[in-house]
Amino acid sequence: MFDALSEKLQATLSDVRGHGTLTEDDIKKAMREIRLALLEADVNFKVVKEFTATVRERSTGADVIGQLNPGQQVVKIVNEELAALMGGASAGISFSPRPPTVVLMAGLQGSGKTTATAKLARHLASEHGSSVAVAACDVYRPAAVDQLVKVAGQAGATVYEKGTDADPVEIARWALDQAKMDGKDVLIVDTAGRLHVDASLMDELVKIRGAVKPHTILLVVDAMTGQDAVNVAQQFGEAVAFDGVVMTKMDGDARGGAALSVKAVTGKPILFSSTGEKLDQFERFHPDRVAQRILGMGDVLSFIEKAEQQFDSDQAKELERKLRKNEFTLEDFLAQLKQIRKMGPLTTLLGMIPGFAGQQLKGLKVDEKEMDRIEAIILSMTPQERRRPELIKGSRRLRIAKGSGVSVQQVNQLVKQFAQMRKMMKSLGSGRMPDMQQLMK
Ligand X SMILES: Nc1nc2c(ncn2[C@@H]2O[C@H](COP(=O)(O)OP(=O)(O)O)[C@@H](O)[C@H]2O)c(=O)[nH]1
Residues that bind Mg ion (CB under 5 A): 113-114, 138
Nearer to ligand X, 77 or 223 (CB): 223
In whole angstroms, how close is the CB of 262 to ligand X at the nearest point? 16
Does position 184 bind ligand X by CB under 6 A? no
In whole angstroms, how close is the CB of 151 to ligand X at the nearest point? 8
Does position 248 bind ligand X by CB under 6 A? yes
Nearer to ligand X, 99 or 110 (CB): 110
252 binds, among Mg ion, ligand X, none (CB under 5 to 8 A by kind): ligand X
**DSSP of 385-426, one letter per residue?**
HHH-GGG--HHHHHHHHHHHT--HHHHHHHHHHHHHHHHHHH
Range 207-246, binding ligand X (CB under 6 A): 220
Distance between CA atoms of residues 91 and 284, nearest Å: 8
In whole angstroms, how close is the CB of 184 to ligand X at the nearest point? 21
Distance between CA atoms of residues 278 and 262, nearest Å: 24
Q: Are 308 and 68 in contact (CB under 8 A)?
A: yes
Residue 329 assigned ligand-binding role: no
Sign of CA dihedral 180, 181, 184, 186: negative
Among 114, 216, 231, 261, binds ligand X (CB under 6 A): 114
Please give the size of the binding site for ligand X, defined by CB under 6 A. Answer: 18
Distance between CA atoms of residues 12 and 17, nearest Å: 9
Nearer to Mg ion, 143 or 352 (CB): 143
Residue 209 assigned ligand-binding role: no
Residue 213 assigned ligand-binding role: no
Q: How many CB atoms lie within 10 A of CB 125?
A: 17
Does position 275 bind ligand X by CB under 6 A? yes
In whole angstroms, how close is the CB of 404 to ligand X at the nearest point? 53
The closest alpha carbon to 179, from 165, 204, 153, 158, belongs to 158
Determine whether 135 is exposed, middle or buried from the number of CB atoms within 10 Å of its CB (0-12, 13-18, 19+): buried
216 binds, among Mg ion, ligand X, none (CB under 5 to 8 A by kind): none
Nearer to ligand X, 86 or 330 (CB): 86
Determine whether 129 is exposed, middle or buried from the number of CB atoms within 10 Å of its CB (0-12, 13-18, 19+): exposed
184 binds, among Mg ion, ligand X, none (CB under 5 to 8 A by kind): none
In whole angstroms, how close is the CB of 262 to Mg ion at the nearest point? 21
In whole angstroms, how close is the CB of 250 to ligand X at the nearest point? 6
Does position 277 bind ligand X by CB under 6 A? yes
Among 61, 252, 383, 429, binds ligand X (CB under 6 A): 252
Distance between CA atoms of residues 285 and 112, nearest Å: 16
In whole angstroms, how close is the CB of 343 to ligand X at the nearest point? 34
Q: Are 23 and 60 in contact (CB under 8 A)?
A: no
Nearer to ligand X, 220 or 245 (CB): 220
Q: Are 286 and 259 in contact (CB under 8 A)?
A: no
In whole angstroms, how close is the CB of 243 to ligand X at the nearest point? 18
Distance between CA atoms of residues 103 and 110, nearest Å: 19
Among 110, 237, 296, 403, binds ligand X (CB under 6 A): 110
What single letter denotes the amino acid at residue 135?
Answer: A
Among 274, 329, 380, 404, binds ligand X (CB under 6 A): 274
Helical segments of 95-156, H only: 113-128, 142-154
The DSSP output letter for 97 is: S
Residue 107 assigned ligand-binding role: yes
Sign of CA dihedral 36, 37, 43, 47: negative
Residue 250 assigned ligand-binding role: yes
Does position 109 bind ligand X by CB under 6 A? yes
Does position 249 bind ligand X by CB under 6 A? yes
Residues that constitute the known binding site: 107-114, 190-194, 248-251
Residues that constitute the known binding site for GTP: 107-114, 190-194, 248-251
List residues near ligand X by CB under 6 A. 107, 109-115, 193, 220, 248-249, 251-252, 274-277
